[in-house]
Structure 1
């Protein structure tokens, strides 16, 4: 049987009380990966970094003997998996070095690894701007100097300055041109209007400290004072192709420059937001149109990362209902997923594991 390894921290460590009691049952999500893996003919192994023994070619992993994963969980030694899905948390300081090193060690053995190292925001802008995705991207570039920021701001009424390695909307600035050469600088809900000299001083200080992408500001659709965007979850499946796992609309906090849940945003449903849009006299485009834009981006990025398996793409509409791709998350949080989306995600993920294992694909794409 093909072995699908999922390396993560959610299940108990070796020698824990849960292991000794023999009554442990994991959360629903891990039971779903187990049961869907069985549907694809996989044995799913759950383990941590410290459970891998390369010297003996084995891993000490949790498995279940029941079809639905509601019982029969035990930890034991198994041969190394045929394919690896690394699912360690990101956190504010990034993944642990041990998790990253372990991925590389598996890849050196020719074992395909999900979640290859991804591009930062500036690299994504450059790659996608040279592809068929360009029509869905706001204008933007790496902000290597103050003139890169001021140049784009001269061409557009507003721009966004985004840390290239930023997550959850942290550190994003909205810059808007005002009269007499002044610029409105907004971060979160705080806004300051500064003159040209002060603006250049602020930008110089920021660019010395961190790398940024400067990107055209868009007049996004709003619901009252709340900006709207749509998290589109796309995954590859057993056929190796990209599929949509669903859409979750998000509403930014009142007056906020971002829609991230961590920054005070909220989630709603496509049905509710569509009904509101129809009542307002400005219907939304079809869900399929938003999904297709995200799927095109996934197919393009696969050219550069062959084992890329899933993305959470933030898709937005401007006031003329034009579609734009704003952000790409290679490790999208599951908090936005509905139960039906979660089921589709686990089925597609385990199917893609089968695809990679059968192809014997190399994961040396870092």
Structure 2
């Protein structure tokens, strides 16, 4: 066994770069490695350009390398009934919660595999109380620190996405799978291009596994359909309105205080969907945030143009931010980094009983 006394980040999809690039830039690059489970060309280009040390998962397993600390966004996969992959490649595991929504997934029992979980705010801390031996820390939403500190140039992003800078811009961020809003709403949303730029960023899993949905978007000739890695920070920067269905994107809009409209799936599909439950945040916010179903789609244009309504929604979004997010706007990366620099205090090496148990899992 080759133990590396440093931090590693586990990346299984290039989209995670958008979640972690702030912390990668903030930390001393000699103090961490990136473990890659895929060798996509854009991911490798990014790591090389940023001069970030990286190593493949295959090499880790082959050489039996074990890191002192590993940061990941979920448990990846189980290797046996009681042990998962991340436990075999690190002594201490830290989860960085990358999204709100889909509670059955985000708050599943496998969270107990983690020694520490970094949460966006009080809601996630509360939902993870069943992980009694896991340290929970609130850090905010580090992905969007630059929205508050060093916001990108709006006009340059609009031009890059082929938008008319004299029009208002709608960003549509659909999820994937059975509850994806593309098949039901693509025609109605495309009709908004008469007055607005309409930029669509499909879910990465739709791009990979749902080609028929991407074709529906292509056939409508939206202002732009984003098919490569593109940080949502840039999309919230240019957005006058954000349209979502389920998952994490609605909360990015709430966090950045953007006018938000939600598209509903039918009740039968929702009931059978494996990752949602009645108190999932992406269900819960529908009590307060404007949402429409297929039968109401004719109202879409009028709702977007109702300026008095959006004034009322602004106060609602403010209240939701307090519920779901730590009030740490623009400083989450610094908070994240301070916790990482103090990990030896949270997990002292003198705790040999715990260390022995963890090494036993690694050797299984």
TM-score exceeds 0.5: no
TM-score (norm 1): 0.31
TM-score (norm 2): 0.31
- Larger-gyration structure (1/2): 1
Q: Which has the higher helix share?
A: 2
